[in-house]
Amino acid sequence: MRGNESCSPDEELARARAGEQAAFAALVRVHQRSVYSLALRMLSSREAAEDLAQEVFLQLHRSLVSIESDAHLAFWLRKVTANRAIDRLRRQRQIETTSLDQAAEIPAVLAAGDPLLRRHLQKLILELAPAARAVLLLRYQEDLDPVEIARTLDLPINTVKSHLKRSLAALRDRMSVPVIEN
């Protein structure tokens, strides 16, 4: 819900750019779930996701003058969240593998509603390289097409397509279980 029911999203943004703190707080409320969700799936840690979301919104506050519209704001938030998460993962020399109890759930479309499969798949996604993980999550969590992902991550479209193809193939290979015959 927006801070002022009669304001359009772009008017709310203009009020926030003008320094109205209530309007900025309303923008945060509208977008905090998507920022946190993407950060959580990228970083696999609630604490790290909360920390990253705070950083993103602090950066937004400093960058409000450059945000042109509500649509630009959503794009900007995805881009900054994904890039900051990739940076954090790259700084880690070793990507941590979380326990199944701490693993964030992935979109149902990838795991078809099976909780055990979803946990296993989430664990495998955490093993992907940071950029490949970002591409996969932007595609299946944020439902962005490859062109939008390329724009968001400043990657060539063919690189995005390669990440998608290789990541899905790797997940398929790791998910396949050999049949044991009696």
Residue 171 lies in a domain: yes
**Entry pTM:** 0.66
Residue 182 lies in a domain: no
In this structure, of 77-86, 102-111, 149-158, the range with the lowest mean pLDDT score is 102-111
C-alpha R_g of the chain:
18
Residue 127 lies in a domain: yes
Residue 4 lies in a domain: no
Residue 116 buriedness (CB in 10 A; 0-12 / 13-18 / 19+): exposed
Residue 180 lies in a domain: no
User: How many separate domains does the chain show?
Assistant: 1
Residue 1 lies in a domain: no
Res 176 pLDDT > 60: yes
Q: Which is more confident, 37 or 91? A: 37
Residue 181 lies in a domain: no
Res 130 pLDDT > 80: yes
Q: Looking at residue 59, which CATH number applies to its domain?
A: 1.20.140
Residue 2 lies in a domain: no
Res 104 pLDDT > 80: no
Range of the domain at 75: 9-175
Q: How far apart are CA 163 and CA 135, in angstroms?
A: 7
Residue 177's contacts (CB-CB under 8 Å, 6 or more residues apart) are: none
Residue 120 buriedness (CB in 10 A; 0-12 / 13-18 / 19+): middle
Q: pLDDT band for 6, please (50, 70, 90 cuts).
A: low
